[in-house]
């Protein structure tokens, strides 16, 4: 099975899609100041829109973007952990619940944003039937009716990318001691291959299988999204070409 990282095309002179966001999320764990490594940090990318924290007495505290001492973070994390899916990575900055905020303009069938968020138009949800690793969750953007009824895909961590081992992690907060920069998309290769069709192989990188390209190839192209082959041997273009998607390298 071949796998592809998705990114927006950069060679489109004038996009036909004008959609833009001002993003927020219902809840999130705060950032921390770690007493051991002395870093002040919050991660991005590990978000779980299916997780509902409305039953927690701490829900108000989890609505605010803030930075807290490590002990306070641990208390909040303990409250959240029983509610998260198995295999989830939960760290400072991890988000829960629906995407909120404002959206305006015209969105394509598939939206890749930041690029660690993956969203689809509701009409495409049925096409994901039988594919594994992604759960579509309604977003709650403030927008004009019909503008942004997008579904966010919850994609679980799994698999890994070669060469992004962040060294010995901090024994307290788990932060890598030397956060390695990601290789460019064209040079990215999988180390551990995911076992599902959608997988978060790094906090900011979602990969999809060739089965996803077969189902959504036309929509990805229409959405001005490039599928970059990250399978470990040298890529071939056949499977994606068959689906009508431009693949690089
Ligand atoms: Zn630390």
- Taking the C-alpha atoms of residue 34 and residue 12, their distance in angstroms, rounded to an integer, is 43
Q: When comparing pLDDT for 28 and 203, which is higher? A: 28
- Taking the C-alpha atoms of residue 37 and residue 150, their distance in angstroms, rounded to an integer, is 39
Task: Provide the residues around ligand 1 (an ion) whose CB is within 5 A.
Answer: 34, 36-37, 170, 172-173
How many angstroms does the Cα of residue 35 sit away from the middle of ligand 1? 7
- Taking the C-alpha atoms of residue 113 and residue 21, their distance in angstroms, rounded to an integer, is 9
How many angstroms does the Cα of residue 62 sit away from the middle of ligand 1? 21
- Taking the C-alpha atoms of residue 139 and residue 98, their distance in angstroms, rounded to an integer, is 5
How many angstroms does the Cα of residue 32 sit away from the middle of ligand 1? 9
Does the pLDDT of residue 241 top 90, yes or no?
no
How many angstroms does the Cα of residue 43 sit away from the middle of ligand 1? 12
pTM of the predicted protein model: 0.89
Q: When comparing pLDDT for 59 and 175, which is higher? A: 59
How many angstroms does the Cα of residue 165 sit away from the middle of ligand 1? 16
Residue 179: the pLDDT is: 60
- Over residues 108-134, the mean pLDDT reads 94
Does the pLDDT of residue 95 top 70, yes or no?
yes
Does the pLDDT of residue 170 top 50, yes or no?
yes
Q: Do residues 30 and 74 make contact, with C-beta atoms less than 8 angstroms apart?
A: no
What is the SS3 assignment for 219? helix
How many angstroms does the Cα of residue 87 sit away from the middle of ligand 1? 22
How many angstroms does the Cα of residue 202 sit away from the middle of ligand 1? 19
Alpha helices in 38-112 (DSSP H): 70-80
- Taking the C-alpha atoms of residue 96 and residue 73, their distance in angstroms, rounded to an integer, is 15
Q: When comparing pLDDT for 232 and 212, which is higher? A: 212
* CA distances, 241 to each of 112, 164, 224, 230 (Å): 20, 29, 15, 15
Does the pLDDT of residue 246 top 70, yes or no?
no
- Is 197 exposed, middle or buried (CB count within 10 Å of its CB: 0-12, 13-18, 19+)? buried
Q: When comparing pLDDT for 248 and 15, which is higher? A: 15
Work out the pLDDT band at 192, boundaries 50, 70, 90: very high
Work out the pLDDT band at 164, boundaries 50, 70, 90: confident
Does the pLDDT of residue 53 top 50, yes or no?
yes
How many angstroms does the Cα of residue 30 sit away from the middle of ligand 1? 14
How many angstroms does the Cα of residue 60 sit away from the middle of ligand 1? 26
How many angstroms does the Cα of residue 28 sit away from the middle of ligand 1? 19
How many angstroms does the Cα of residue 151 sit away from the middle of ligand 1? 34
- Taking the C-alpha atoms of residue 208 and residue 28, their distance in angstroms, rounded to an integer, is 26
Residue 239: the pLDDT is: 37
- Taking the C-alpha atoms of residue 193 and residue 199, their distance in angstroms, rounded to an integer, is 9
Q: Do residues 25 and 69 make contact, with C-beta atoms less than 8 angstroms apart?
A: no
Backbone torsions φ then ψ of 26, nearest 5 degrees:
-55, -50
Residue 181: the pLDDT is: 73
How many angstroms does the Cα of residue 174 sit away from the middle of ligand 1? 6
Residue 177: the pLDDT is: 60
Give the number of C-alpha atoms closer than 13 A to the C-alpha of residue 173, restricted to the C-beta side. Answer: 26
How many angstroms does the Cα of residue 64 sit away from the middle of ligand 1? 22
Work out the pLDDT band at 168, boundaries 50, 70, 90: confident
Does the pLDDT of residue 115 top 90, yes or no?
no
């Amino acid at each position: 099975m071949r796998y592809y990282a998705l990114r927006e095309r950069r060679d489109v002179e004038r996009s036909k899609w004008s959609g833009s966001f001002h993003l927020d999320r219902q809840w999130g764990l705060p950032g921390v100041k770690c007493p051991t490594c002395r870093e002040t940090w919050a991660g991005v990318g590990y978000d779980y829109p299916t997780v509902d924290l409305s039953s927690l007495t701490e829900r108000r505290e989890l609505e605010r973007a803030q930075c807290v001492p490590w002990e306070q973070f641990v208390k909040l994390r303990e409250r959240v952990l029983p509610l998260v899916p198995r295999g989830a990575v939960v760290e400072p900055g991890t988000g829960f619940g629906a995407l909120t905020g404002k959206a305006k303009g015209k969105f394509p069938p598939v939206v890749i944003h930041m690029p660690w968020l993956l969203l689809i138009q509701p009409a495409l949800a049925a096409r994901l039937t039988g594919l594994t690793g992604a759960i579509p969750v309604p977003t709650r953007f403030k927008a004009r009716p019909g503008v942004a009824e997008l579904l966010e895909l919850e994609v679980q961590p799994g698999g890994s990318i070669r060469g992004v081992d962040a060294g010995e992690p901090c024994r307290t907060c788990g932060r890598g001691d030397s956060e390695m920069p990601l290789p460019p998309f064209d040079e990215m290769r999988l180390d551990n291959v995911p076992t599902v069709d959608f997988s978060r192989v790094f906090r900011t990188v979602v990969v999809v299988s060739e089965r996803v390209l077969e189902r959504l190839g036309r929509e990805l192209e229409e959405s001005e999204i490039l599928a970059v082959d990250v399978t470990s041997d040298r890529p071939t273009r056949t499977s994606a070409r068959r689906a009508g998607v431009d693949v690089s390298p």
